[in-house]
Chain A
Amino acid sequence: MRKTEDPLQLEYGENIGALRVVRQAAPAGAASFSATYVGPAGWGFDPPGEEGAARLVNQLVATATRRRDRVALARRLDRAGATLARQTSPEAGELTLWGPAGDWVELLELLSEVVLEPRFDPEDLARTRRQMLERQLRQQSQPASRAEFELTRAVFPPGHPYRESGLGDRRSIARLTRSRLERFHREHYTGGGASVIVTTSAPLSAVRRAVASHFGSLGPRSAPSLRLPPLLAVRPRRVTVDLPGRSQVEVRVGGPSIPQSSPDYPGAYLANEVLGGRPLLARLFQRVREQNGLAYHASSHLDSMRLGGIWSARAGTGADRWRKVVPMLEEEVARIRRSRVGAEELRSVRESSIGEIPLSLESTADAHELAVDAAYHELPPDYWSAWPARLRDVTAADVRRAAVRAFDAARSVTVVVGPIGARPGR
C-alpha cells in the first residue's frame, strides 16, 4: 500500500528551460486533479496606452485555440467534466484546469494548447472588448468596485502597476488590435518566470515528463521584469464619491503594503487576522457588526504579492450609518499599529490560523491554491509544512512591528463611495 503523502509538501522538479515544474500530492482519495500555468502576464505589464491588454489576453487565451474554436473548446471541457478558470492580478496571469484525476495527462495537454496556441479570433476579440467595456462601466457604477478603484488610484502614483484595475478605458481597449494582443502573448506567456503546478497522485517524474512534452516549446525566454516606482505622499487623505440611487455605502481604509517574501509577512498576516481578516474573531467585525450592528460586512484584507502589497479595512453600511463606521475603521487600524495585541487575542488568532490548515486540504482544488501561491512566490517546498512553526514564532511585538510596516499610515487613504448625499434616516 502506498504511503499517504503530505499535500503541504511541494516537490520542485528540474526546470524545463526556464519553466518551473511543481508537483503537489492530491489529498487522499481525491477524484480530481488541478493544473495551473502562472506567468508574468499581469496588468502591470500593460504597455502605456494599451491598458487592458493583460486581461483581454488572459480571457482570449481561455476562449479558443488554433485547433478549437470557442464552442469546440467549451464542448471539450464539458465532455471531460473539466473546468478552465482564468485570473489576472497586477503581476501575474494564471490559467487553471480542474478535472477528473484519471485524465490528468490529456487535460494537461489541453492546458498547454490553451496557453501556447491561442486563436485571437476577431469575433472573440470583438465580443471580449464589449464585455470589458461593460465591466468598466460596472466598476464605476457599483459602490464596492468603485471604492477599490478609487483606493488604488489615490494611493499609488501614475505608472505604478498596482494603481490600475487592468480594465483599461474606452480608448485603450480600442487600441488593442489582434497584433498587439498577440505580441503581449508572445512576450508574457513564456517559460521565463513562469510555473506549471500540478496537484495529482502521479509522481513528480511523470509530471515533469508530461510538462516537458506539452510545455517544452515555451522556451527559455527571460521573464519580463516589473518595477515599482517610489511611493509618494498621499493627498488628499479622504476620497468621497457620491453615487445617488444606491442603497449601500462602501468604506475602505487602506494603502500600500509589504510583499509575501518580507520577513515581516507572518507578523503582518497575524496583524491582519486580528484586525479583520478572520472576521468572526476579528476586531472590525466584533466592533462594527457584533457590538454596534452597523454593517453586514466589516473585514480587512492583506494582498501580499511578489514585489509589494495592498491592504484595506472594509465595510458596507447604510447612508445613515457610514459616518459612524468610518472612524471605527480608522481607529482600529490606528490601534493595531499603536498597541501590542493581547496574549489571548494573539493565541486565539494564531491557533485558528494553524488549525484551519486541514480545511485547506479537503479537496484537490483547495489544496492546489496553496501550491500555486507557494510556487508563484517561489517559496521553499516546505513553506506550508513549516507555516505553523513560523506563526508560533511570532510574538506580540512582532505583530505590532509588522503592522506598522504593512499598514503604512503615512500613505493610507479613506475612501467612501455610495449614496452619501442621501439624507440620513430611512
Chain B
Amino acid sequence: MVSERVPRPRLEQFRLANGLRVVLAPQPESPTASVWVWYRVGSKNEHPGITGASHWVEHMLFQGSPRYGKGEIDRAIVGVGGQLNAFTDTDFTAYFSTVPREHLGIPLDIESDRMTRALITDVEVQRERTVIHSEREGNENWPEFRTEEELYQLAFRVHPYRWEVLGRRVDIERLTGAELREYYRRFYGTRNAVLVVAGGFDAREVAREVRRRFSALPDSGGEVAVAEVEPPSVGERRSELSGPGTTPYLEIGWRSPALRDPETPATMVLDTILGGESRLFSAGSGWGRAGEHPSARLYRSLVDPGLAVRATSEWRPREYPGLFTIQAQAAKGVSADRLESAIDGVIARLCRSGPTRTELDDLRAKVRRGAALAYEGASRIGFRLGYFSVLGGPEYEDELYRSLLRVTAGEVRERARDMFRRDARAVVQYHPTGGEADA
C-alpha cells in the first residue's frame, strides 16, 4: 500500500520577524547543498508599459549588490564548482545556487545581500537591454512561442496573464532603470520571499546561519496579490498567424482553475488522459517528463492515424485561473482545420463518456510512482519545496496528491463538460509561409 503522503524529506520551517519564511531540508548524506529563494513576484505584478519588468529584474540581480560587484556572484558560485541560475514565471521568480556542501555559506550570503539591496544601475540596465531583446528573439524563432503568446493575448483581456513573461518588445525597448528599481523596491523583500535550503548540512547550524544573515533585513515586500479579475469569456476567439515554419501548428486554450481551486485535481486528470503527463507528479529524473506518450488520447487520435507529428495538452499550475491548452503540429499535408476538427472529436468523446476505468487506474499508479521518486538530489528538493511553498505551502502538495488519487470518473467528466466549452475558448492557427518548409 502506497502512503497517501508524498514521501518528502524531513523539514524544519520557521519565519523570521521580518516575515521571511524559511524551509530547511537537511539530507545528511548529500554531497551538495542547494539554496533557493522564491519571490511571489512575476509578470502578474506588471502592467502595460512595464511588461517584462520581473524578468529584467531577475537579470539585474546578477549585476551587482553591495557585497558582490558585477560578475562576482557568478565567480563566487561557479568558482567552487557550483551552478546558479534564475527563472521568472507569471506568479513567481526563483533564484538558485547548488554548491558542494562545504560552500553553503556563499549562496546564503549572496541571497541575503541581493534580497533588498541589488544596485540595478542605469549603465547595467542599458547594457542588459540587448541581452533581453536577444533572449526574446531566440524564442521568437519558434512558431510555438509566437502561437502561445498570441493565444494568451486572445484569451485574456484584463488579467496580467495576457502578456508573455519576457515582456512586449515595445516595453523592453523603453523600460528605464528608475522603473526597474521602483519595481524591485516595491515587490522584492522578506514578506514576499521563501528561502529553501536543501542538502548536506546540519539543520541547527544552518538555521542559526540563516537568522544571522537574514534577520537584519528590513521588513519589506509590498502587496503582490492581483486585483484584476478576468471576466468570463463569451464567444470563441480566433486568430491566425503566419511565418516561417514546417507544417501548420495549432493551439487551443480554455479557461482553467487556479492551483488551489477545488476543480484542479479533475483538471490534472484531464491533462494526464489527454496528454499523458501527470504534471507535478511525473515519473522522470527531472521536473515533468518530456517525450511522447503513446497511451494518451491525443497521441492515439492525432499522431497514430497520421494527422499530427506531435500532440499534447498542458495545464500549468497557476495562482489565478489560467488556461488549459492543447497543442498539435500537423503532419505534412494536413491542414490546421482538419487537425482542429480531430481535436474537437477527442474532446467531445471525453465530455460524453469521461475517462475509462483503466485510464484512472493507470493514472493513479503513475502519480503514486512519480511522487515516490520526486525528491532525489538537493537541487530537485529545493525546487520542489520552493515551488509548493510559494504556491500553497509544502503541506498543500499532500492535499493535492490525495485529491488527485481520489478523483472519480464522474468528476472528470463533469469537469470536461464544464471546461471544454466551444464558446469559451481561444484558438490560434499558425500557418507556415512559403509552403510547408520555406527553407
Whether the pair A71, B300 counts as a contact (CB closer than 8 A) is yes
Question: How far does the alpha carbon of A126 sit from the alpha carbon of B305 in the complex, in Å?
Answer: 10
Whether the pair A28, B80 counts as a contact (CB closer than 8 A) is no
Q: Is A98 an interface residue (CB 8 A)?
A: yes
Interface hit among A216-224, A305-313, A356-364, A402-410:
A356-364
Whether the pair B295, A71 counts as a contact (CB closer than 8 A) is yes
Q: Is B159 an interface residue (CB 8 A)?
A: no
Q: Is A31 an interface residue (CB 8 A)?
A: yes
Whether the pair A243, B244 counts as a contact (CB closer than 8 A) is yes
From A31, A98, A146, A248, contact of B134 by CB (8 A):
A248
Question: How far does the alpha carbon of A27 sit from the alpha carbon of B31 in the complex, in Å?
Answer: 9
Which chain A residues in 346-396 approach chain B with CB under 8 Å? 348, 351-359, 361-366
Whether the pair B295, A245 counts as a contact (CB closer than 8 A) is no
Among B98, B128, B131, the one with the most A-chain Cβ atoms within 10 Å of its Cβ is: B131
With known contacts A71-B300, A146-B439, A243-B244, A293–B127 Cβ distance under 8 A? yes
Q: Is B74 an interface residue (CB 8 A)?
A: yes
* Nearest chain A CB to B32 CB, angstrom units: 5
Question: How far does the alpha carbon of A194 sit from the alpha carbon of B341 in the complex, in Å?
Answer: 47
Q: For B135, what are the chain A residues with a Cβ–Cβ distance below 8 Å?
A: 296
Q: For B303, what are the chain A residues with a Cβ–Cβ distance below 8 Å?
A: 127
From A73, A99, A126, A140, contact of B437 by CB (8 A):
A140
Question: How far does the alpha carbon of A144 sit from the alpha carbon of B140 in the complex, in Å?
Answer: 12
* Nearest chain A CB to B324 CB, angstrom units: 21
Whether the pair B370, A358 counts as a contact (CB closer than 8 A) is no
Q: For A300, what are the chain B residues with a Cβ–Cβ distance below 8 Å?
A: none
From B132, B134, B244, B294, contact of A141 by CB (8 A):
B244
Question: How far does the alpha carbon of A365 sit from the alpha carbon of B81 in the complex, in Å?
Answer: 19
Determine the residue in chain B with the shortest Cβ distance to A83: B284
Q: For A27, what are the chain B residues with a Cβ–Cβ distance below 8 Å?
A: 29, 31, 377
Whether the pair B372, A31 counts as a contact (CB closer than 8 A) is yes
Q: Interface digits, B38-81 against A, CB 8 Å rule (1 contact, 0 not)? A: 00000000000000000000000000000000110011011111
Interface hit among B223-231, B361-369, B391-399:
B361-369
Determine the residue in chain B with the shortest Cβ distance to A297: B138
Determine the residue in chain B with the shortest Cβ distance to A138: B246
Whether the pair A80, B377 counts as a contact (CB closer than 8 A) is no
Whether the pair A294, B376 counts as a contact (CB closer than 8 A) is no
From A134, A321, A365, contact of B130 by CB (8 A):
A321
Interface size range of chain A in the complex = 35 or more
Whether the pair B376, A296 counts as a contact (CB closer than 8 A) is no
Q: For A137, what are the chain B residues with a Cβ–Cβ distance below 8 Å?
A: 246-247, 332, 436-437, 439
Whether the pair A353, B285 counts as a contact (CB closer than 8 A) is no
* Nearest chain B CB to A165 CB, angstrom units: 14
Whether the pair A134, B309 counts as a contact (CB closer than 8 A) is yes
Whether the pair B285, A98 counts as a contact (CB closer than 8 A) is yes
Q: Is A247 an interface residue (CB 8 A)?
A: yes
Whether the pair B243, A134 counts as a contact (CB closer than 8 A) is no
From B103, B130, B289, B369, contact of A293 by CB (8 A):
B130
With known contacts A79-B362, A355-B100, A246–B128 Cβ distance under 8 A? no
Q: For B99, what are the chain A residues with a Cβ–Cβ distance below 8 Å?
A: 355
Q: For B373, what are the chain A residues with a Cβ–Cβ distance below 8 Å?
A: 31-32, 81, 99-100
Q: For B332, what are the chain A residues with a Cβ–Cβ distance below 8 Å?
A: 130, 133-134, 137
Question: How far does the alpha carbon of A334 sit from the alpha carbon of B99 in the complex, in Å?
Answer: 33
Which chain A residues in 98-147 approach chain B with CB under 8 Å? 98-100, 123, 126-127, 130-131, 133-134, 137-138, 140-144, 146
Determine the residue in chain B with the shortest Cβ distance to A285: B74
With known contacts A32-B285, A281-B78, A359-B81, A293–B129 Cβ distance under 8 A? yes
Say what secondary structure dominates the interface of chain B. Answer: mixed
Q: Interface digits, B257-277 against A, CB 8 Å rule (1 contact, 0 not)? A: 000000000000000000010
Question: How far does the alpha carbon of A78 sit from the alpha carbon of B364 in the complex, in Å?
Answer: 10
Whether the pair B134, A79 counts as a contact (CB closer than 8 A) is no
* Nearest chain B CB to A390 CB, angstrom units: 16
* Nearest chain A CB to B129 CB, angstrom units: 7
Whether the pair B246, A141 counts as a contact (CB closer than 8 A) is yes
Question: How far does the alpha carbon of A351 sit from the alpha carbon of B75 in the complex, in Å?
Answer: 11
Q: Is A63 an interface residue (CB 8 A)?
A: yes
Question: How far does the alpha carbon of A131 sit from the alpha carbon of B71 in the complex, in Å?
Answer: 43
Whether the pair B246, A29 counts as a contact (CB closer than 8 A) is no
From B142, B304, B377, contact of A362 by CB (8 A):
B377
Determine the residue in chain B with the shortest Cβ distance to A96: B285
* Nearest chain A CB to B264 CB, angstrom units: 21
Determine the residue in chain A with the shortest Cβ distance to B146: A247
Determine the residue in chain A with the shortest Cβ distance to B142: A142
Which chain B residues in 120-162 approach chain A with CB under 8 Å? 126-138, 140-142
Q: For B78, what are the chain A residues with a Cβ–Cβ distance below 8 Å?
A: 278, 280-281, 352
Among B98, B135, B285, B304, the one with the most A-chain Cβ atoms within 10 Å of its Cβ is: B285
Q: Is B306 an interface residue (CB 8 A)?
A: yes
> By the criterion of a CB under 8 Å from any partner CB, how many residues of chain B are at the interface?
83
Which chain B residues in 277-299 approach chain A with CB under 8 Å? 283-286, 289, 291, 293-295
Q: Is A85 an interface residue (CB 8 A)?
A: yes
Whether the pair B75, A79 counts as a contact (CB closer than 8 A) is no
Q: Is B27 an interface residue (CB 8 A)?
A: yes
Question: How far does the alpha carbon of A294 sit from the alpha carbon of B81 in the complex, in Å?
Answer: 27
With known contacts A32-B376, A358-B101, A364-B376, A296–B131 Cβ distance under 8 A? yes
Whether the pair A81, B372 counts as a contact (CB closer than 8 A) is yes
Q: Is A295 an interface residue (CB 8 A)?
A: yes
Whether the pair A78, B433 counts as a contact (CB closer than 8 A) is no
Determine the residue in chain B with the shortest Cβ distance to A144: B141
Whether the pair A143, B141 counts as a contact (CB closer than 8 A) is yes
With known contacts A280-B74, A362-B32, A365-B285, A356–B138 Cβ distance under 8 A? no
Whether the pair A134, B377 counts as a contact (CB closer than 8 A) is no
Whether the pair B370, A70 counts as a contact (CB closer than 8 A) is no
Q: Interface digits, B338-380 against A, CB 8 Å rule (1 contact, 0 not)? A: 0000000000000000000000001001101110110011111
Question: How far does the alpha carbon of A303 sit from the alpha carbon of B131 in the complex, in Å?
Answer: 27
Q: Interface digits, B223-261 against A, CB 8 Å rule (1 contact, 0 not)? A: 000000000000000000001111100000000000000
Q: Is B403 an interface residue (CB 8 A)?
A: no
Question: How far does the alpha carbon of A352 sit from the alpha carbon of B83 in the complex, in Å?
Answer: 10
Question: How far does the alpha carbon of A146 sit from the alpha carbon of B79 in the complex, in Å?
Answer: 34
Q: Is B329 an interface residue (CB 8 A)?
A: yes
Q: Is A160 an interface residue (CB 8 A)?
A: no
Determine the residue in chain A with the shortest Cβ distance to B331: A130
From B30, B294, B439, contact of A74 by CB (8 A):
B294
Q: Interface digits, A236-256 against B, CB 8 Å rule (1 contact, 0 not)? A: 000000011111100000000
Q: For A80, what are the chain B residues with a Cβ–Cβ distance below 8 Å?
A: 369
Q: Is B173 an interface residue (CB 8 A)?
A: yes
Question: How far does the alpha carbon of A134 sit from the alpha carbon of B309 in the complex, in Å?
Answer: 7
Whether the pair B376, A281 counts as a contact (CB closer than 8 A) is no
A positions within 8 Å CB-CB of B: 4, 27-32, 34, 63, 70-71, 73-75, 77-83, 85, 98-100, 123, 126-127, 130-131, 133-134, 137-138, 140-144, 146, 243-248, 278, 280-281, 286, 289-290, 292-297, 316-318, 321, 348, 351-359, 361-366, 418, 426
Q: 18 A-B Cβ contacts within 8 A?
A: A30-B376, A74-B276, A83-B283, A83-B291, A98-B285, A100-B369, A130-B332, A134-B246, A134-B331, A137-B332, A137-B437, A243-B244, A317-B137, A351-B80, A352-B79, A358-B31, A358-B81, A418-B141
Q: Would you list the 8 A-B pairs with minimal beta carbon distance, nearest first?
A: A355-B81, A81-B369, A365-B285, A362-B377, A363-B377, A356-B81, A247-B140, A358-B31
